[in-house]
């Protein structure tokens, strides 16, 4: 079956913006902000004009199945699985795309509706190649769930006898198997509307329709930023991450290899979902135990290098500010952009390469960690770095691409050998016969087991900015950040608004320059009374808005520092996190991350990156010329060429 194109505007099915407030007005009056009555299966409720039948049904607890619909995406109405009977309408209507503009009566599970949905599901299955048991979405496939819900026990219209499309494995990050595609167009809407990248599109019409790249080129040859947001919204197994777990198991089973894993903050707030727990259930310490039982020799905390990133990136910001404001040297331009999101880096390389000089030269925490594992850690323990296998547990499919960039080898070896997503690690844990929720708690291993609360909040949009401000404020003022923000919570940079501004007023009394960076700037007198302007952006559609604002000389061009994250919600909404995702799930994961940060303070542990004793030890013993020094630049920073390509 080939789904219908979305109905044109003006047919009564076009999506209508939902009013934020509503009040009763007489029928036929001004409908803006009005309420209208709808009866759904004998449940009557008043909803704002323009509310879809699907949303109204959810309000009264009536379940309507969907496939093409997703809470993050615009309305499409292409799959028709959500059809219902609307009184007065001759044909069944797609509930996700039908706006309620007058008193309406709806029936959601009549015989005609059930039969239509069953036919649609049967037709979808007739073109869905492959079988379920070897599919990575087995047990978490929306098409499979619909087939079960509607009692599909045979292929009434047959099924493909062989795959029609070649599987595209060209990308380090994303694998495309269009044999399993059901043409819901979620990936297209994600790539075009949610992320504004535009790699995927619906090509052809009718029977010839397919989802393809430009000229059907391999994904690795496209401007894909590897964010994996398409994977998170695909209802079947047509899109998945490029899985290296077989190689990781082989390394674990090889007695000549020393296999270490670093774990980012966001997977800890999400992995419980893979084991039936509610979103936002933290599993940090249970996961550590599970990783050791899987066979990893050491379990480290990526938050260590998140703290290190703040020191390096904050120092770089200070140097940029001093060059521009004191020396009049704009060779390192402002605003400075963060660099820890590889999807964002790929985005700016493709779409705004002229702004690469604004990007911090700091590597991401993942890549800083990789460089240190095969240098300092190897030296400390007398291990041949050639025998170390460095694995990174990340919420992000773009991290797979990042660790395979040819320039990421400043340790003399490939700095990070493999990137695992949260979903892939969950599968490894299950494969090892481990029940994560039953694991005892255990801590991380030294020397990378000590982190601060600032490292934890890297996982949420605004977290990098908040972590940086905690340190910069204390560096410059000589006072505790708690003197300015209660409990060190810099609330103005938190939240899920796509683009956010904040200002930090530097007092007229400043402190001494900390010893760690005293060799770089003589004093803070040049910052007395200054206003530090910062921005926070998540999702590349929002990044485009901000970059265009900067090009036009708008408010964001006046910022000194801007945090960019490629994924909605930041890393906690990354392309490697458990499926499904949505606004409520991302908010729950964020609460878990901020709660863990708060717990650091309650336990008397450091909540600021510059207070991390393990990071200070690193500078004392290894990076002895300090932040942004020669050695740290070699191992922890990248450089750009005028053509916009990053080199080590």
Alpha carbon distance 99, 54 (integer Å): 9
Task: State yes or no: cis peptide before 92, omega within 30 of 0.
Answer: no
- Catalytic residue, from 339, 360, 471, 632: name it: 360
| Dihedrals phi, psi of 427, to nearest 5 degrees | -65, -40
Q: Which long-range contacts (CB under 8 A, 24 or more apart) does 282-287 make?
A: 282/592, 282/595, 282/596, 283/436, 283/437, 284/596, 285/441, 285/442, 285/443, 286/436, 286/437, 286/439, 286/440, 286/441, 287/263, 287/436, 287/439
User: Which one of 313, 349, 424, 596 is the catalytic residue?
Assistant: 313
The answer to whether the peptide bond before residue 335 is cis (omega within 30 degrees of 0) is yes
Catalytic residue from among 340, 559, 567, 628? 340
- Look-up: residue for tokens 């499926």? 579
571 is catalytic: yes
At 404, is the secondary structure helix, strand, or coil? coil
Q: Which residues of 531-546 are buried (b: 16+ CB within 10 A; e: fewer)?
A: ebbbbbbbbbbbbbbb
Q: Rounded distance, CA 186 to CA 618, Å?
A: 46
Q: Is 482 a catalytic residue?
A: no
The verdict on whether 407 is a catalytic residue reads: yes
Q: Of 298, 363, 399, 533, which residue is the catalytic one? A: 399
Q: Kindly name the residue from 68, 82, 571, 628 that is annotated as catalytic.
A: 571
At residue 391, the 3 state secondary structure works out as strand
> For residue 624, what are its two tokens?
């002895």
Instruction: Tell me whether residue 221 is one of the annotated catalytic residues.
Output: no
| Tokens coding 474 | 């204390």
Verify whether residue 313 is a known catalytic residue.
Answer: yes
Give the chain's end-to-end CA distance (angstroms, integer): 50
d(CA 31, CA 49): 7
Q: Which residue is catalytic, options 127, 286, 312, 316? A: 316
* 85 catalytically annotated: no
C-alpha 56/C-alpha 37 separation (Å) is 10
Which of these is catalytic: 407, 442, 499, 557?
407
Catalytic one among 273, 402, 563, 596? 402
- Whether 340 is a known active-site residue: answer yes
Half-sphere exposure of 636 (CA within 13 A, CB side): 30
Ramachandran region, residue 51 (left: φ > 0; alpha: ψ -120 to 50; beta: rest):
beta
Contact call for residues 418 and 392 (beta carbons, < 8 A)? yes
Nearest-angstrom CA–CA distance, 210 and 205: 8
Length of the chain: 648
- Alpha-carbon distance of 501 to 507, in angstroms, equals 20
Taking residue 494's Cβ as centre, other Cβ atoms within 10 Å add up to 20
Instruction: Please list the helix, strand and coil fractions of the chain in percent, rounded to the nearest 5, in that order.
Output: 40, 15, 45
Identify whether the C-beta of residue 294 lies closer than 8 Å to the C-beta of residue 430. no
Active-site residues: which are they? 313, 316, 340, 360, 399, 402, 407, 571
């Amino acid at each position: 079956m080939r789904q219908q194109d979305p109905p044109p505007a003006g047919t009564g099915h076009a999506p209508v913006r939902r009013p934020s407030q509503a009040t009763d007005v007489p029928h036929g009056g001004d409908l803006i902000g009005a309420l209208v009555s709808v009866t759904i299966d004998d449940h009557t409720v008043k909803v704002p004009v323009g509310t879809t039948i699907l949303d109204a049904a959810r309000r009264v607890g009536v379940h309507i199945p969907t496939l093409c619909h997703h809470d993050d995406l615009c309305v499409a109405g292409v799959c028709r699985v959500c059809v219902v009977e609307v009184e007065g309408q001759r044909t069944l209507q797609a509930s996700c795309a039908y706006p309620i503009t007058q008193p309406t009566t709806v029936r959601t599970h009549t015989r005609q509706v059930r039969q239509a949905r069953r036919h649609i599901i049967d037709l979808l299955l007739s073109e869905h190649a492959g079988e379920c048991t070897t599919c990575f979405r087995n047990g978490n496939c929306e098409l499979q769930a619909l087939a079960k819900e509607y009692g599909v026990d045979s292929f009434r219209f047959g099924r493909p006898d062989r795959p029609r499309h070649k599987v595209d494995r060209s990308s380090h990050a994303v694998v495309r198997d269009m044999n399993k595609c059901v043409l819901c167009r979620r990936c297209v809407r994600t790539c075009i509307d949610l992320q504004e990248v535009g790699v995927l599109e619906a090509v052809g019409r009718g029977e010839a329709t397919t989802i393809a790249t430009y000229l059907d080129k391999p994904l690795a040859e496209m401007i894909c930023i590897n964010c994996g947001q398409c994977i998170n919204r695909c209802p079947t197994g047509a899109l998945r991450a490029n899985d290296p777990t077989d190689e990781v198991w082989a390394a674990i089973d090889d007695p000549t290899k020393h296999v270490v894993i670093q774990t980012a903050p966001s997977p800890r707030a999400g992995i419980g979902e893979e084991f039936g727990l509610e979103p936002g259930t933290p599993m940090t310490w249970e996961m550590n135990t599970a990783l050791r039982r899987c066979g990893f020799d050491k379990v480290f905390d990526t938050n260590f290098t998140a703290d290190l990133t703040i020191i390096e990136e904050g120092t770089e910001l200070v140097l940029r500010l001093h060059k521009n404001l004191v020396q009049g040297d704009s060779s390192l331009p402002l605003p400075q952009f963060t660099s820890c999101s590889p999807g964002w880096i790929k985005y700016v390389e493709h779409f705004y390469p002229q702004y690469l000089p604004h990007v911090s030269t700091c590597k991401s925490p993942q890549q800083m960690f990789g460089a240190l594992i095969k240098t300092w850690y190897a030296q400390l323990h007398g291990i041949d770095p050639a025998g170390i296998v460095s694995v990174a547990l990340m919420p992000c499919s773009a991290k797979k691409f990042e660790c395979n960039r040819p320039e990421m080898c400043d340790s003399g070896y490939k700095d990070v050998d493999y990137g695992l997503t949260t979903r892939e690690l969950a599968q490894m844990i299950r494969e090892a016969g481990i029940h994560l929720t039953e694991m005892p708690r255990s801590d991380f291993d030294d020397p990378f087991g000590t982190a601060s609360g600032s490292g934890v909040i890297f996982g949420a949009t605004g977290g990098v900015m908040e972590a940086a401000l905690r340190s910069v404020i204390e560096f410059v003022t000589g006072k505790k950040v708690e003197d300015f923000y209660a409990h060190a919570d810099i609330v103005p940079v938190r939240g899920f608004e796509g683009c956010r501004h904040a200002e930090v007023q530097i007092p007229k009394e400043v402190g001494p320059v900390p010893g760690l960076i005293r060799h770089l700037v003589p004093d803070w007198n040049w910052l007395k009374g200054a206003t530090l302007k910062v921005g926070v952006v998540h999702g590349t559609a929002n990044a485009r808005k901000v970059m265009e604002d900067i090009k036009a000389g708008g408010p964001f061009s006046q910022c000194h520092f801007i945090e960019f994250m490629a994924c909605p919600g930041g890393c906690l909404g990354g392309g490697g996190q458990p499926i499904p995702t949505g606004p409520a799930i991302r908010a729950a994961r964020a609460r878990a991350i901020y709660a863990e940060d708060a717990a650091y303070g309650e336990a008397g542990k450091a909540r600021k990156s510059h207070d991390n004793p393990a990071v200070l030890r690193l500078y004392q013993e290894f990076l002895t010329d300090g932040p942004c020094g020669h050695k740290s630049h070699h191992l922890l920073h990248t450089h750009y060429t005028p053509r916009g390509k990053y080199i080590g």
